[in-house]
Structure 1
Amino acid sequence: RHHRNEDAFALAEAALPDGSPAVVAIVCDGVSSATRPDEASLAASRAASEALVASLGQGTHPQTAMHEAIVAAARAVDDLAEERPADAEAPRQNAPACTIVGAVAAGGLLVVGWIGDSRVYWVPADREGPVARLTEDDSWAAQMVAAGLMSEAEAYADSRAHAITGWLGADAYELDPHTASFKPDRPGVAVVCSDGLWNYAESAEDMAAALPADALTRPLHSAQVLVGHALDGGGHDNVTVAVVPFDVRPQEGS
């Protein structure tokens, strides 16, 4: 329903030094009030994915690699503000901007990183373990909840809810990438998405309910189902989702 898609994503597989695979997923959502948000999200997703693949292949710890990838993405978006003569007089005013969220499944770890309000959810394959949202929004609503001023339901119902407080762009505040590392005890999937999806499946329980039961073995189909869920719910924004399978491999001798 937009005249252009301001989301972008990147999927990649890297090889760790021991030869084991690592799966990388990045989702970026352009800030609509900024100039060229589509270019910002595309540049950020590409830069982050390329940085992650290179760092993981060199043996960098996945959480460190995620932090470095977000810094690389920020640099790529900053560069956009300098490259056009029309922007040269005030490159930091209303500069190209986007959010970023990413997940890496590698070496028995699930690592996430983000700036903004795109999210990662964890859904175990057996649906018996706890489902969870693995990221915390950089947004007005999240700040109100964190300060104890509003409940989550009240905050996200407010018209100011999606005003973001963190983003990538030359006019952003000090760069402060968030990263977290998890070691799931069972197989499952990470749902990496823009708010075009989670607006219609906000809680972890809602996201799990919308996700097909065979997501671990059919991630692409599951991503398509989730996009359909958002559209069927009246989706009015760009919708981007990557479903990353995470399998727990048994240790040798077990």
Structure 2
Amino acid sequence: NEDAFTVSATALPDGAPAVVAIVCDGVSSATRPDEASLAASRAANESLLAALPCGTHPQQAMHDAILAAAEAVNSLADPAAPSHEHQPHVNAPACTLVGAVVTPTLLVVGWVGDSRVYWVPVDRSAPPARLTEDDSWAAQMVAAGLMNEAEAYADERAHAITGWLGADSYELEPHTASFKPDRPGVVVVCTDGLWNYAEGAEEMAEVVPADAAERPLHCAQVLVGHALDGGGHDNVTVAVLPFPAPQQGAGSA
């Protein structure tokens, strides 16, 4: 398993609850990808749990957490290894990262790579949404207007990532965004092992059980089951966080 995740809870300075989920997917073409994802998820989680109670704004805390994760992954690289440009099999350990912070009034997401966050409102009359944009070849083609989304994701190069955490990555660009949902819902944080089988926001919402906000752990299990039933051709990791943040934390599988 090249995925790793953390789900934890803390409190903001005013006592309001904050729930944190970090999901990482090891880059299979790199060496020791499982170590990379584990190091990144732990470092990001620890960074957020240290910053949020001190009053750091959740979006800034998420940005700093991604940098902390990158540093942790970079430290795994073997400085004596030959250049990956000449020997691809010795690529430095690498992974993607996606995370979410949920408070009673705010939802913050952050990512590098192609793991995703989806928003699914309890009231299904409101539309669900994907809250992240992939760092991938397909996303670049769509953004450049060279292909539509269906064409890009049908291409064999679709899932080639253009951003990751690792010593051999290009210049790191942590992405963060904040939202203030106007209704209760659930936040689905997942690797492509899940979203390959429910790519669009509407597709994801169809799989999320109606009682997901009350039973987040069950929802996570249902989503993992959906990916396995679809073929399960990749590691599947998903965390489900109710919004607004519940006093008792969240569920994951």
Scaled by the length of structure 2, what TM-score is found? 0.93
How far apart, CA to CA, are the structure 1 residues paired with 2:10 and 2:161?
31
Shift, 1:91, TM fit: 7.2
Q: Which amino acid aligns with 2:197?
A: Y
| Percent of residue pairs identical | 78
Q: Which amino acid aligns with 1:21?
A: P
TM alignment of 1:18-57, pairs within 5 A: 18-57=14-53
How far apart, CA to CA, are the structure 1 residues paired with 2:205 and 2:104?
25
The question of 1:143 aligning with 2:140 is answered: yes
Shift, 1:107, TM fit: 4.4
TM alignment of 1:1-254, pairs within 5 A: 5-82=1-78, 88-90=80-82, 94-247=91-244
Distance verdict in 2 for CA 1:248–1:150, change over 3 Å: same
Partner of 2:250: none
How far apart, CA to CA, are the structure 1 residues paired with 2:43 and 2:129?
28
How far apart, CA to CA, are the structure 1 residues paired with 2:106 and 2:54?
17
The answer as to whether partners of 2:24 and 2:38 remain within 8 angstroms in 1 is: yes
Q: Deviations over 1:33-60 (max 9, x none)?
A: 0000000000000000010011001100
* 3-state SS, counterpart of residue 68 of structure 1: helix
How far apart, CA to CA, are the structure 2 residues paired with 1:119 and 1:90?
32
* 3-state SS, counterpart of residue 80 of structure 1: coil
Distance verdict in 2 for CA 1:75–1:91, change over 3 Å: farther
Unaligned residue ranges in structure 1 (runs of 5+):
250-254
Structure 1 residue ranges, 4+ long, deviating more than 6 angstroms after superposition: none
Greater CA deviation, 122-131 or 178-187? 122-131
* 3-state SS, counterpart of residue 50 of structure 1: helix
Shift, 1:126, TM fit: 1.2
Q: Which amino acid aligns with 1:240?
A: T
Partner of 2:249: none
Considering only aligned residues, what root-mean-square deviation do their CA atoms show, in Å? 1.3
Partner of 2:87: none
Partner of 1:252: none
Shift, 1:88, TM fit: 2.1
Q: Which amino acid aligns with 2:207?
A: A
How far apart, CA to CA, are the structure 2 residues paired with 1:29 and 1:235?
15
How far apart, CA to CA, are the structure 2 residues paired with 1:248 and 1:185?
13
How far apart, CA to CA, are the structure 2 residues paired with 1:185 and 1:132?
13
Unaligned residue ranges in structure 2 (runs of 5+):
85-89, 247-253
How far apart, CA to CA, are the structure 2 residues paired with 1:102 and 1:136?
13
- Give the aligned length: 241
How far apart, CA to CA, are the structure 2 residues paired with 1:138 and 1:160?
13
How far apart, CA to CA, are the structure 2 residues paired with 1:19 and 1:89?
48
